[in-house]
Chain A
Amino acid sequence: MHISLRRARRRCGDSQVTRSAGDSLYVAGDRLHRDREALLAEVIAGRESSDPELREAARRAWRRLVSLEHDRVRAMVTLFRFPDRPGVRIPPEHVDDVSQEVFARILGMLDGFRGMTPQQLSAAIATATRFTCMDWCRRELGRERRGAGSLDPTAEGSGNLGPSEIEIARPSSLEHYDQLAAREELESLATALRDLPSDQQREVVRLTAIGYDSEEIAKHLGLSRVNVNQLRSRALRRIREHLDD
């Protein structure tokens, strides 16, 4: 469903959507801001349009939307607790940057917000915030695993593990987390395969994965067995390095 600026104006009431000279905002009586629904409609309509007026309106609406949602997103990031793991949260010094990541996610999801009611939009923003926070915790876990650069102190009596790692590593059914982790793992693996430096390495990995042994691969590719083994071990080393990163 395409929501035009005109329609957005109708929804909001024409009297509320008047341009005030000297002010980049849309001001109506004592209301200094407008409904999120109308702002969102303007953002989407303007982004897809070549009309300079609509694009300018979209620019203002986006800035206003982010300003109006900023405190809500920031507060939700502050309150975030990893599902079933209340000890895993976003440290205060990272709340602003994680909030910013939420807005990056929202901008990437704009098409999906089309035609949402204010309640749906609020729910979508809350979900985007939760997922961004979970992603952050997962990245933090990766940093802790690498050791150097860990932001958290090592937990007492835990060897080299950081607090986030201990919390997340506890056996539990963390469905959301697992889904996200699996998705990222797959993406990472696909990238690693694509980044292999030669077609031969890719082919050796592919044939190995579907069950060919070195002898068969050598025959198939017209290479020696030693060659195939070398290509495979180099490819696997690169993939491992990529996944570790």
Chain B
Amino acid sequence: MTDARTLLSAFKEEWEAGLRPDVGAFLAAASAGQRGELAHAIEAFLCDAPLPRYDGGTLEQLESSQPVREAKRAFDGRAGTWPLLLPALRREGRLTRSDAARRLATELGFSGAHERVHEHLHTMEYGTADPLRISRRVLVALARVLGTTAARLERAGRVPTLGGPTRGLMPTRRGLPDAPPFSEVPSGYRQPDSHRPPDWAALDRLFLGADG
């Protein structure tokens, strides 16, 4: 067993050189009696440690890692910190997105429409959903599924980012959003049958229209 002081020096050296030392491995190398002392010493060092001198390859690897990608998605998107928070909470509960969508659909009383819920959950996790249009009912149900509170989800969705949160209707090139002119209607477009709305129309209102 190496003593705590030597291990701390080695940790600092590796840290500053950008070698990404593994805290767990360093603690494991210490004797049981010195582990606590080493943990405190490393923690104290980290609180004000210099930035590691990562080389280009390491930085590239870090920038393409999942947490950084999800952080970037959150900053670019308009759904606050949902792209960071929702997948993390979901994984902590050991739920795939499909599992979470199924449970959320059941909580909302649309157990048959879990695929549609999956699509909405996807937009929330990717930061493309508009948090101001998502109903409280969805937030309460999602909080139950993810083991958190609706208030926390609501706060997270309202964190300002590059893309939002949007405040009301956004003017477009032609003014406020409107039906597209006929020249822009894509071929194959069919007017929805208002007498037979699709099953998920009511569900969509919960995610897109602040219904309920």
Chain A residues with a Cβ under 8 A of chain B: 25, 32-33, 35-36, 43, 46-47, 55, 58-59, 62-64, 66-68, 70-72, 75-76, 78-79, 81, 86, 92, 94, 96-101, 103-105, 107-108, 119, 122-123, 126, 136, 139, 142-143, 149, 184, 187-188, 190-191, 194-195, 242, 245
Contact = CB atoms under 8 A, between A and B. Distances in A.
Given A62-B75, A79-B43, 17 more contacts: A55-B162, A59-B162, A67-B63, A70-B62, A70-B68, A71-B52, A100-B71, A101-B88, A104-B84, A105-B81, A107-B75, A107-B81, A108-B156, A122-B47, A123-B48, A184-B152, A191-B151
A123 B62 CA distance: 23
Contacts of A123: 47-48
Given A67-B62, A70-B67, A71-B20, A143 B147 contact: yes
A97 B151 contact: no
Contacts of A98: 88, 92
Given A63-B68, A78-B24, A188-B149, A107 B62 contact: no
Contacts of B71: 62-63, 66, 100, 103, 107
A136 B148 CA distance: 10
Contacts, number: 148
Interface in B22-68: 23-24, 36, 39, 42-43, 46-49, 51-56, 59, 62-63, 65-68
Contact of A191 (B49, B150, B161): B150
Interface of B: 20, 23-24, 36, 39, 42-43, 46-49, 51-56, 59, 62-63, 65-68, 70-72, 74-76, 80-81, 84-85, 87-89, 91-93, 136, 140, 143-144, 147-152, 155-156, 159-162
